C-alpha cells in the first residue's frame, strides 16, 4: 500500500525545510566563537567578510520568500542597495544577525508549508543581468536559496580558515 499523494507532497516540503535548516547550521558552525570585530575582518584578497556573508544570506532568503508570497509580475530588482549587501552594518552584531536569521528561517518554513503548490510558477524580478521576466517554480526558488546558502558557506569556511584556522568541520580548542 502506498502513501497518499498529499503525504508525499507534505514530505517534500518538510525535506526542503530540513535541507535549508542543515545548510544554515553549517554556516552557523563556521561562525562559532567569532566576535563582531572578526566578523568584519577581511582575511583574504576578497572584500567578503563573515559578517557580510551572513548579512547577505539573510537578505537573500528574506527576498526570495517575499517573491514567492508577493508574485509581483512588475517587480524590478533594486540594485541601489547592492553596495551594502555584503557588509555587516556598524549597528549589526553577529548575535543579532543570527537571531534575525532564525526569524527569517521560521518565515521560510511557514511559507513552504502554506504555499499552494511547489510547482506554482512565480515571476522573478527583472534586473540588469536578467532584463526579461523569468518565471520559476516555488521549488526552484527554494533551491536557489539553498544554493546561495551553500555557496556562501564555502566562502565563509575559507574566510574563517584564513582568520584562525577553524571552519565548519574543525573548531580550534574544541
Question: What's the CA gap between 106 and 104, in Å, rounded?
Answer: 5
List the pLDDT tens digit at each of the 174 positions of the chain.
555 656 667 999 999 999 999 999 999 999 999 999 999 999 999 999 999 999 999 999 999 999 999 999 999 998 887 888 999 999 999 999 999 999 999 999 999 999 999 999 999 999 999 999 999 999 999 999 999 999 999 999 999 999 998 888 766 655
Neighbours of 157 (CB within 10 A): 20
* Residue-wise burial string across 124-141, b where 16 or more C-beta atoms lie within 10 A, e elsewhere: bbeeeeeeeeeebebbeb
Q: Which of 151, 142, 54 is nearest to 96 (CA)?
A: 54
Question: What's the CA gap between 154 and 148, in Å, rounded?
Answer: 10
The full set of domain ranges for the chain reads 13-164
Neighbours of 142 (CB within 10 A): 25
Q: Which CATH number among 1.10.10.10, 1.20.120.450, 1.20.58.1030, 1.10.3720.10 corresponds to the domain 13-164?
A: 1.20.120.450
Amino acid at each position: 500500500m502506498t502513501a497518499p499523494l498529499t503525504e508525499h507532497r507534505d514530505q517534500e516540503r518538510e525535506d526542503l525545510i530540513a535541507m535549508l535548516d542543515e545548510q544554515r547550521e553549517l554556516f552557523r558552525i563556521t561562525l562559532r566563537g567569532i566576535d563582531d570585530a572578526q566578523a568584519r575582518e577581511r582575511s583574504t584578497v576578497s572584500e567578503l567578510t563573515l559578517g557580510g556573508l551572513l548579512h547577505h544570506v539573510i537578505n537573500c532568503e528574506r527576498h526570495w520568500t517575499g517573491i514567492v508570497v508577493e508574485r509581483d509580475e512588475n517587480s524590478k530588482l533594486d540594485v541601489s542597495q547592492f553596495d551594502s549587501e555584503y557588509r555587516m552594518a556598524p549597528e549589526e552584531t553577529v548575535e543579532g544577525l543570527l537571531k534575525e536569521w532564525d526569524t527569517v528561517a521560521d518565515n521560510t518554513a511557514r511559507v513552504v508549508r502554506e504555499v499552494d503548490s511547489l510547482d506554482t510558477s512565480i515571476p522573478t524580478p527583472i534586473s540588469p543581468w536578467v532584463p526579461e521576466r523569468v518565471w520559476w517554480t516555488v521549488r526552484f526558488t527554494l533551491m536557489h536559496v539553498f544554493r546561495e546558502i551553500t555557496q556562501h558557506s564555502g566562502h565563509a569556511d575559507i574566510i574563517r580558515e584564513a582568520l584562525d584556522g577553524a571552519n565548519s568541520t574543525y573548531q580550534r580548542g574544541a
